[in-house]
A and B are shown apart, each in its own frame.
Chain A
């Protein structure tokens, strides 16, 4: 059942973004920024976390989930360390995602060469 939920929720988020993209002609870079910020806002409003509990990867894999993670990290850091948490929590929470993307991509640049499409 969790696979069905992940498929539908993940699919629906992507479909909604596709409709948005087709109608606004926004470049993918902007779309990614909007999604992350939206995820952080929905996280702050307490909407996103229940969605992740319900849909699992369907809500955590899209970049909005990344935004939610950022906010969640800051909130937890504030609860634990007080004010310094505002500056600490974001990168702590997103460390795994950003580090792996950078490290693997850098290694990939040794192995692969740019190709014509």
Chain B
């Protein structure tokens, strides 16, 4: 039998598209005050989330998100076969200490701020491959722990350039399950596809990104580091599936910010695709640039994760959008390689999410 799952150069089209049965978004106070504040499940006022330090805070946040998503999927942790999770901290400490109590087998992943896309991709492959009924893709970022690790102590006074982004405090979890209910596309068509049916959110396919390096050495301009990676993945997705950008209601990048968005649109236009009408960037949406003083926008694993699980899922469930290409972007910044004079390469992971 011919394998129809492998599409083009870098993409997969799922044979039995897994469905998203649960999703959660836990946000910090600043994110709660932003334009998307009302979409989040939990907005926690305490920046420590009841913990002792910033790393502990992030762990607690991640646990909170995982438990909430599992609960919303009407499952128990024992029903989840695998957890695919990661964060920005060294050796993934927020993940390992956060999910310990859940007692679920874990694949730890690092994709910088693209982790949500990477974990959903791997999770979907596991589910479609038949290796699990339910998996959870999980990620988080915390402004304070990220600043501490990548930049300066919080109380240290410095001016952020306008191209700098603000790391989102937030964690999102997605429960990916086999589509067991009898509502596959054919049966819906036969029943006339009436609107009263519960909306189903499917993961149709993925396009995995390559590490892309255009030699930017400015760690305060991550949008410029990541834009070529995002452009590459979006281009490859459209090529592999032979689609035009108009196929998607929205093409959603993770945290390019204002600078990166401009570069992305320029780059894709040069390659023959105009996405200026339907492009959206989570980093731009999550904060109000005028009042929240975040400069180029939000960033971090949590940025795309909570925007997906808050805002984007809401739009899909309300059937305002039917097809989105979710492309979280990651800047592979390390203080070691950066100090050793290396540039900051980017990566992006495309996930085709469709609702019906």
Contacts and interface: CB of A to CB of B under 8 A. Distances in A.
A–B contact, 8 Å CB criterion (strictly below):
yes
Interface residues of B, number: 17
Contacts of A116: 28-30, 47, 143-144, 154, 169
Contacts of B29: 116
B291 interface: no
B158 interface: yes
Interface in A15-74: 25, 27-28
Contacts of A117: 143, 147, 154
B195 interface: no
Describe B's contact surface by its main secondary structure.
Answer: loop
B155 interface: yes
Given A25-B218, A25-B220, A115 B154 contact: yes
Interface string B127-168: 000000000000000011001100001110010010000000
A114 interface: yes
Interface string A101-117: 00000000000101111
A59 B156 CA distance: 23
Q: For chain A, which range describes its interface: under 10, 10 to 19, 20 to 34, or 35 or more residues?
A: under 10
A114 B48 CA distance: 10
Contacts, number: 26
Interface string A82-117: 000000000000000000000000000000101111
A28 B152 CA distance: 10
Contact of B54 (A25, A27, A28, A114): A114
Contacts of B47: 115-116
A115 B220 contact: no
Contacts of B218: 25
B143 A114 contact: no
A25 B159 CA distance: 11
B153 A114 contact: yes
12 contacts: A25-B220, A27-B158, A112-B155, A114-B54, A114-B144, A114-B154, A115-B155, A116-B47, A116-B154, A117-B143, A117-B147, A117-B154
Interface of B: 28-30, 47, 54, 143-144, 147-148, 153-155, 158, 161, 169, 218, 220
Of all A-B residue pairs in the complex, the 6 with the closest CB atoms, nearest first, are: A116-B47, A28-B158, A114-B154, A116-B144, A117-B154, A25-B218
